[in-house]
A and B are shown apart, each in its own frame.
Chain A
Amino acid sequence: MIIMFVQDESDEVQHGKFSRRTVLLGAAQVLGLGAATARLYQLQVLDQSSYAKLSEQNRNTVQMLAPLRGQIVDRFGTVLAANTDQFQAVLVRSLAPDMGGVLRDLSMLIPLSRQTQDRIIRRALRQSPNLPVMITRDLNWEQFAQINLRAPRLPGIQTRKAGRRQYFHGDAVGLVVGYVGAVQRFALDDDPLLRLPGMSVGKSGVERAMEKRLRGVGGRKRLEVDAHGRIIREQDKTQPEAGRDVVLTIDTQLQRRVMQRLASEKRAAAVVIDVVTGEVVVMASVPSFDPQQIAKGITSPQWRKLRRRRGDPFINRAIAGQYPPGSTFKLVTALAALEAGLVKLDEKVQCPGHYTLAGHKFRCWRRAGHGAVDLHRALRESCDVYFYDMANRLGIRAIGAMAKRLGFAQSYDMGIAAQARGLIPDPEWKFGRFNKSWYGGETILAGIGQGYVLATPLQMAVMVARVASGRRVQPTLLRPEQGTSVAEFQPLDIAPKWLQAVRGGLIGAVNEPGGTGRRARLPLGEALIAGKTGTSQVSRRSSRRSGARLAWKYRDHALFVGYFPADAPRYAVSVVVEHGGGGGSVAAPLMRDITGFLLEADPAARPAILAPASAKISAGPLAAPTIKPFTLAPGTGSTGSNGAGSDNSKS
């Protein structure tokens, strides 16, 4: 205890130093406060008269005028997002001598229960007398006119007009179109418009990606107001410049049919690309949500409930879902091997049901083995061992280079936000991520689209579109603008004979006996579907047990990529069913049905509209077909199971 009384020398030293520094900092504070005082003296005393004058002039107030947000329409002009006027009635306490009376009078014009009236009065009494209280947000035009007409006899009641975003066909295209919401404080950019109360900006999907085009330019209104803020007169006005419309490449009706077909699965996505133009005709993802639900006004608990719904309906799986592409990736491996000259078309590889590398056994999906397989059969029957061997010959870098040429591991400037990039691994990536070196076995797995490889349904559709056309197809959701010319895509620079060989394998997979994609076949005579199944393994358990008995979340993803018609490709399709099971049994029938829908609708053959070049010509479908419509080869009959006809393709 005694020791505690001894003078603590180190603290003395520290205390002394701290004191000196405190004095220094204190002096700085005195300077700071002095500067503030001097500044206030300058503003409030020295320059008082000039600011007082400015303050008087300030009674000329300037109001910003919000521009009309551009509409979003589909390729045929069907409106998907538009603006509607919302008519509101508000009560201003300071202008109402008798609130109860005026509300009773108002209840003759619009439905207004006693409880609501009481609630409005209570709220009005709780807050500042000049702040308006909302009576209703949903007046129809007639009610709005009635109230305005009787305004002199309804003191304290005011009407207002506010713009509101409205979404149509949200159940089908909600995830593509996205939605708007209030501006976050951090998101304020240079545009003073964003400071306008009630302004909203795109939060997801096309609404977000095309914000600049849709928003428009704000106008200004100069008003003269008196000291109480009442408007004396309007001085001048610059009209706001409305945002420009966005015309999507989507065919809403077709997309709805695809969504309805996908709805039988828990979580699934499908993409249809027009091979010639790169236009995305269908971008479907289930589960989905309707942005109109949010636009109508949503409370916090409702929002949370919506977000908690099973399967996360806010994710657009077509662009943000990342899946191992599985056997659909064999197109990449095949083309890489052919181009590098590492395999001949007729070269046969023995498949005993497994492949051995450095003591590890890699199994083929068919345990019994395929025997001797060449490229055509390997693609047709999806022989894993053949592609294990190709991958081993190629190495991961060659596979990766081809994958990137075919559109993997990139996002596209196509008019929609929140695209996932997917992943094409290489040794540097692995070292950076896990600090481990690359193993040969991982190359083997990458060769059949397993392991680290990830791709989005969009990327898989791009891949098959590029293989089908031999060109560098760039996907887009935006119809070209009026007056712009659309150039043809650059060639892929892969020798036609290699592409032809792979295409042959894809045709075989659907149409020849033994093909894995037989269930995608449509009895159409000459117009064939070409495609490739994929079954990507989610967990090791799935390799041991068969689908039905396995818990849902461990089941394999079912995939299919394909194009149609095989002899003159027009549509490229990719389908992913999360935990759907086998690609051949689950995804291939989806391909068949989607092709059936495509045959009926044939969106590429019907006249689509162009995006307006300026805001002035907003809305109104401007029919102008620019691209030569695709027509079925003569002699093709109507289809079987789906009853799809080709009549409307003649237009």
Chain B
Amino acid sequence: MKIERFLPQPLSEKIWRLNWLLLLSICALSATGVVALYSVADGSLAPWAERHAIRTLIGLALIIGIAMLPLRFWLAAAYPVYFLALALLLAVLFGGTQIMGARRWIAIGALSFQPSEIMKVALVLALARYYLGMDDARISRPLWVFVPLLVIAVPVVLVLKQPDLGTAAILASVGLGMMFLAGVSLWYFAAAGVAVAAAGPIIWANLHSYQQSRILTFLDPQRDPLGAGYHITQSKIALGSGGLYGKGFMQGTQSKLDFLPEKHTDFIFTMFAEEMGFIGSISLLALYALLFLVLAYMALSCRNQFSRLLIGGAWIGVFVYSLINIAMVTGLVPVVGVPLPLVSYGGTSMLTIMFGLGTAMCGYVHRYDRLRRSDLRIMI
């Protein structure tokens, strides 16, 4: 260990602390996205492939930019960002943009955005901040478990009210996953599992009719093959007909014939797997596995809990995103409208993921920083 490690580092040195393998796996996944989007548009860079590539580059710059900021900046920003996101969620629910009818979006000038996206990053920041320097004895005491549960539950409920089941599921799993990583006693998780099983019927009664119909249709896709079951059936046919080696690049018939809905966003995996076959789809899975491995490695090499949890949050988030999407298109879970991270087309989700990975990278760059609870007082 050298003394320099604990001193504020110059920028040039921070650059060398970046995890290049993470950037590389991001590039590989985005490149897969560009290829798939090129094929979706019938062999055309416009309108999706080129913009996806440009967004990736902007995203990489964003990751590096965020990582160069001092870790303490994010520590100080954690709670304010969380409460801001919460306020925006409330605003969108009660104010929202009423005339055009949408309740997820909020408009400031020409920009419009979804506060629920900000909340994904804000929740990770807030929980990482909460667990920084908390001593082991406290972590599992009921009150100290209750507070983070509240921190998770409030945005989840607000997002459910929008209603956006997919985002709510991601927020809940990231939050609970971080509590798990932070070391909350396993008994709580066991108890929660039992409680969920018991509360199932109540949740069911509170779902919107279209959400119920999605779940019912998922259980029995033939219930309405042209309505809500349409997506699942078509997606499975596309995947299955792809076979081992696929139909060949730009040769997918299911997706080309417009049987697949939203094939450039939520169903991009289906379209890729139809053309590239089982070989292609497990290669894509392997790329994701690499991304998860790198993130896990990054988390474990950190010497402070804040860094670890920042990376842990991003790790769980990206994992849940990808797994829900793949499970959805293969008919393992109901269609909830979650994009495949880094591959699906879409500026908002790309920005959120890049931002999340940026904070993770920041945690990694500053992995030797010593952040203690006592630091907080000096800072604020």
Instruction: Tell which of A18, A44, A128, A186 touches B281, judged by Cβ atoms closer than 8 Å.
Output: A44
Measured CA separation A130–B256 after assembly (Å): 10
Instruction: Flag if B253 contacts A55 (CB, 8 Å).
Output: yes
List of A residues within 8 angstroms of B6 by Cβ:
4
- What per-residue 1/0 map shows which CB atoms of A175-217 lie under 8 Å from chain B? 0000001001111111110010000000110000000000000
- Considering the complex, give the chain A residue whose CB is closest to the CB of B47: A127
Instruction: Tell which of B41, B135, B230 touches A10, judged by Cβ atoms closer than 8 Å.
Output: B135
Instruction: Flag if A41 contacts B278 (CB, 8 Å).
Output: yes
Instruction: Tell which of B101, B237, B303 touches A58, judged by Cβ atoms closer than 8 Å.
Output: B237
Instruction: Flag if B42 contacts A131 (CB, 8 Å).
Output: yes
Contact A58 B259, CB 8 Å, known A41-B278, A220-B226: yes
Measured CA separation A203–B213 after assembly (Å): 24
Contact A181 B101, CB 8 Å, known A4-B370, A33-B288, A192-B227: yes
Instruction: Flag if A14 contacts B163 (CB, 8 Å).
Output: no
Q: How far is the CB of B80 from chain A (nearest CB, A)?
A: 25
Instruction: Decide yes or no whether A514 CB sits under 8 A from chain B.
Output: no
Measured CA separation A126–B164 after assembly (Å): 34
Instruction: Flag if A307 contacts B99 (CB, 8 Å).
Output: yes
Pick out which of these stretches binds chain B: A19-27, A73-81, A500-508: A19-27
Q: How far is the CB of B208 from chain A (nearest CB, A)?
A: 8
Instruction: Decide yes or no whether A314 CB sits under 8 A from chain B.
Output: yes
Instruction: Flag if A44 contacts B278 (CB, 8 Å).
Output: yes
- Chain B residues with a Cβ closer than 8 Å to the other chain, count: 77
Interface-central residue, B213, B241, B323, by most chain A CB under 10 Å:
B241
Instruction: Flag if A128 contacts B257 (CB, 8 Å).
Output: no
- What per-residue 1/0 map shows which CB atoms of A28-47 lie under 8 Å from chain B? 01001101110111011101
Instruction: Flag if A186 contacts B162 (CB, 8 Å).
Output: yes
- Considering the complex, give the chain B residue whose CB is closest to the CB of A53: B241
Pick out which of these stretches binds chain A: B9-17, B176-184, B342-350: B176-184
Instruction: Tell which of B3, B41, B258, B288 touches A1, judged by Cβ atoms closer than 8 Å.
Output: B3
Interface-central residue, A21, A52, A55, A195, by most chain B CB under 10 Å:
A55
Instruction: Decide yes or no whether A346 CB sits under 8 A from chain B.
Output: no
Q: Which of B325-378 contact A (CB under 8 A)?
A: 326-327, 330, 332, 337, 370
Instruction: Flag if B254 contacts A58 (CB, 8 Å).
Output: yes
List of B residues within 8 angstroms of A59 by Cβ:
257
List of A residues within 8 angstroms of B319 by Cβ:
29, 32
List of B residues within 8 angstroms of A429 by Cβ:
none
Instruction: Decide yes or no whether A61 CB sits under 8 A from chain B.
Output: yes
Contact A128 B240, CB 8 Å, known A33-B285, A190-B228: no
List of A residues within 8 angstroms of B326 by Cβ:
36
Instruction: Decide yes or no whether A108 CB sits under 8 A from chain B.
Output: no
Measured CA separation A45–B257 after assembly (Å): 23
Contact A128 B162, CB 8 Å, known A18-B308, A40-B278, A45-B278: no
Instruction: Decide yes or no whether B190 CB sits under 8 A from chain A.
Output: no
**A contact patch SS:** helix
List of B residues within 8 angstroms of A21 by Cβ:
180-183
Contact A52 B241, CB 8 Å, known A22-B312, A40-B278: yes
Instruction: Decide yes or no whether B209 CB sits under 8 A from chain A.
Output: yes
Measured CA separation A26–B177 after assembly (Å): 11
Instruction: Flag if A50 contacts B240 (CB, 8 Å).
Output: yes
List of A residues within 8 angstroms of B180 by Cβ:
21, 24-25
Instruction: Tell which of A11, A24, A45, A55 touches B305, judged by Cβ atoms closer than 8 Å.
Output: A11
Interface residues on A, range: 35 or more
Instruction: Decide yes or no whether A227 CB sits under 8 A from chain B.
Output: yes
Instruction: Decide yes or no whether B56 CB sits under 8 A from chain A.
Output: no
Contact A44 B44, CB 8 Å, known A25-B181, A55-B254: no
Instruction: Flag if B103 contacts A186 (CB, 8 Å).
Output: yes
Q: How far is the CB of B4 from chain A (nearest CB, A)?
A: 11
Instruction: Flag if A192 contacts B244 (CB, 8 Å).
Output: no
Instruction: Flag if A48 contacts B312 (CB, 8 Å).
Output: no
Instruction: Flag if A45 contacts B243 (CB, 8 Å).
Output: yes
Q: Which of A438-455 contact B (CB under 8 A)?
A: none
Q: Which of A204-249 contact B (CB under 8 A)?
A: 204, 220, 225, 227, 229
**B contact patch SS:** helix
Instruction: Tell which of B237, B257, B337 touches A61, judged by Cβ atoms closer than 8 Å.
Output: B257
Instruction: Flag if A51 contacts B299 (CB, 8 Å).
Output: no
Q: How far is the CB of A301 from chain B (nearest CB, A)?
A: 9
Instruction: Decide yes or no whether B296 CB sits under 8 A from chain A.
Output: yes
Instruction: Decide yes or no whether A371 CB sits under 8 A from chain B.
Output: no
List of B residues within 8 angstroms of A141 by Cβ:
none
List of A residues within 8 angstroms of B243 by Cβ:
44-45, 48, 52
Instruction: Flag if A25 contacts B303 (CB, 8 Å).
Output: no
Instruction: Decide yes or no whether A548 CB sits under 8 A from chain B.
Output: no
Measured CA separation A128–B42 after assembly (Å): 6
- Considering the complex, give the chain A residue whose CB is closest to the CB of B177: A25
Measured CA separation A185–B330 after assembly (Å): 22
Instruction: Tell which of B133, B242, B261, B296 touches A195, judged by Cβ atoms closer than 8 Å.
Output: B261
Contact A127 B46, CB 8 Å, known A47-B240, A54-B237, A189-B210: yes
Instruction: Flag if A48 contacts B241 (CB, 8 Å).
Output: yes
Instruction: Flag if B209 contacts A8 (CB, 8 Å).
Output: no
Measured CA separation A8–B5 after assembly (Å): 15
Measured CA separation A439–B18 after assembly (Å): 66
Q: Which of B132-146 contact A (CB under 8 A)?
A: 133, 135-136
Instruction: Decide yes or no whether B239 CB sits under 8 A from chain A.
Output: yes
Instruction: Flag if A51 contacts B227 (CB, 8 Å).
Output: no
List of A residues within 8 angstroms of B72 by Cβ:
none
Q: With A10-B135, A55-B253, A129-B43 given, can you name 18 additional A-B contacts, CB distance below 8 Å?
A: A17-B183, A18-B182, A18-B312, A21-B180, A29-B292, A33-B289, A44-B277, A48-B240, A51-B237, A51-B239, A52-B243, A127-B46, A129-B44, A186-B104, A189-B209, A190-B209, A192-B224, A192-B230
Q: Which residues of B contact A (CB under 8 A)?
A: 1, 3, 6, 41-44, 46-47, 99-104, 133, 135-136, 162-164, 177, 180-183, 209-210, 213, 224, 226-228, 230, 234, 236-244, 253-254, 256-259, 261, 273, 277-278, 281-282, 285, 288-289, 292, 296, 299-300, 303-305, 308, 312, 316, 319, 323, 326-327, 330, 332, 337, 370
Q: Which residues of A contact B (CB under 8 A)?
A: 1, 4-5, 8, 10-11, 13-15, 17-19, 21-22, 24-26, 29, 32-33, 35-37, 39-41, 43-45, 47-48, 50-52, 54-55, 58-59, 61-62, 64, 126-131, 181, 184-192, 195, 203-204, 220, 225, 227, 229, 307, 314
Interchain Cβ contacts under 8 Å between A and B, 10 examples: A21-B180, A22-B181, A22-B300, A25-B316, A36-B323, A36-B326, A40-B273, A127-B46, A128-B46, A190-B227
Leading 10 A-B pairs by shortest Cβ distance: A51-B240, A55-B241, A128-B42, A192-B227, A44-B278, A128-B44, A48-B243, A17-B183, A128-B41, A52-B241
